[in-house]
Structure 1
């Protein structure tokens, strides 16, 4: 059984991921500012505590937990994300920074903190968006969000190269439309072809097995546009 960290676990895909992985018998550390939903699952192999990926002081909580309870980490799933839907002319530097703190800077820092506890065969999966894929259809109002999702694609490719001798794999899944609260915020009224649970089932399997087949790759997991 694996030791797996998942971020963005209070709702949507992350919340479903935690349940799927825990029901398979894996040890799961669920990280979100709101830890209540995962705590209420009341499962012995789920640990949940409040974690703000934009707060530098919170990363020590993760280090302390790994060292006291796990010693190592097999899989990190960077799922947490922040979305801003706003015309570019109205998007301030502070707006951009807020989105990048969650989608880029926080992802990078958590990965940096966790990597010393990962060994050969470990897998880092980062959830991106089709909006961050070069050449894909783009939508107005998502300049900060989609560009941040593009940034982590290149970042993952770089780390795959940097850590290939340690045999730690880095892959990105760029998701299309999934029926989540975040999609509703970006595209009110749009009905996606996939539920959060369906996508979480795919991601759980990929996180556990995808590193056997891929490293430094971007997988476009999308059946529709957006």
Structure 2
């Protein structure tokens, strides 16, 4: 049965590949990111299904409303993948508080804004999947220079657990995946020369399957998805 899934951060990397995988299985994908041109490329790359490209900045209330209007034109959401994020690498003592605020705004408050706006459109039995990082997973190996990023991604973990506690009675599952190193543009920008063991396509395939089936086995869970123990 065809599902309707909204995914953020879909213009490149993991989000791009997740959207393509879902569309290849004849699902309807509402794909959003800030880049209109890259989203148009994504829509053209889809061989099956349907990708509805809706450019939006998750820090802007007017863009959140635009996404809500796009979803209102469907029969409701079966899944919401909060994948959008931004990274910043700098020594803790050199990282200005404004950087912490920016990363919290995009990586955490963006999830809050969008999920609150989409709540009435989520069907019973639907699945919210928040994408965090091993940088925010308690007890994992951490890399220096990612204090603002790790803080924001740790907040995504806590937010996911609380959302699950509130939404369970409405039969809406919430899970969080803490992703390890994936060879994305964002990783290359933060760690030039580093070679990750997993490709964006591999992780995209995994996330596409998880949004469709993971809530049959998990709810309120924070799951590490990493081959080793990267930060």
Shorter-chain TM-score bucket reads over 0.9
1:177 touches 1:224 (CA, 8 Å); kept in 2?
Answer: no
Gaps of 5+ in 1: none
Match for residue 61 of structure 2? 56
- C-alpha separation in 1, matches of 2:158 and 2:75: 29
1:71-112 deviations in Å (ceiling 9; x for gaps): 411100011011010111111121111111110001111011
- Determine if contact 1:59/1:110 at 8 Å carries over to the other structure: yes
Is the Cα–Cα contact under 8 Å of residues 182 and 199 in structure 2 kept in the other structure? Answer: yes
TM-score, scaled to structure 1: 0.96
Match of 1:29 in 2: 30
Question: Partners of 1:66 and 1:47 in 2: how far apart?
Answer: 10
SS of residue matched to 1:85: coil
SS at match of 2:218: coil
Corresponding position: 1:177 with 2:178: no
Residue number in structure 2 paired with 1:5: 6
CA deviation after TM superposition for structure 1 residue 49, in Å:
2.1
Separation (CA, whole Å) in 2 of partners of 1:205 and 1:50: 24
1:195 lines up with 2:183 in the alignment: no
Using the TM superposition, give the Cα deviation of residue 16 of structure 1 relative to its aligned residue in structure 2, in angstroms. Answer: 0.7
**Structure 1 residue runs of 4 or more that deviate by more than 6 Å after TM superposition:** none
SS in structure 2 at match of 1:74: strand
Kindly tell me the number of residue pairs found equivalent between the two proteins. Answer: 225
Q: Structure 1 residue 23: deviation in Å?
A: 1.0
User: Does residue 112 in structure 1 map to residue 121 in structure 2?
Assistant: no
Q: Does structure 1 retain, via aligned residues, the 8 Å contact 2:133–2:178?
A: yes
1:24–1:208 CA distance, 2 compared to 1 (3 A): same
Task: Tell me, yes or no, if structure 1 residue 158 matches structure 2 residue 162.
Answer: yes
Specify which of 199, 208, 211 is matched with residue 215 of structure 2: 211
Residue 120 of structure 1 deviates from its aligned partner by 1.5
Residues 49-88 of structure 1 correspond to what in structure 2 (within 5 A)?
Answer: 49-67=54-72, 69-88=73-92
Q: 5+ unaligned residues in a row in structure 2: which ranges?
A: none
Measure, in 2, the Cα distance between the counterparts of 1:199 and 1:66. 25
Aligned partners of 1:81 and 1:60: how far apart in 2?
19
Q: Secondary structure at 1:164's aligned position in 2?
A: helix
| CA contact 1:4–1:27 (8 Å) conserved in 2 | yes
- Counterpart in the other structure of 1:47: 52
Is 2:131 aligned against 1:130?
no
1:222 aligned partner = 226
Q: Could you say what secondary structure the match of 2:125 adopts? A: coil
After TM superposition, give the deviation of residue 180 of structure 1 in Å: 0.5
RMSD value, Cα: 1.1
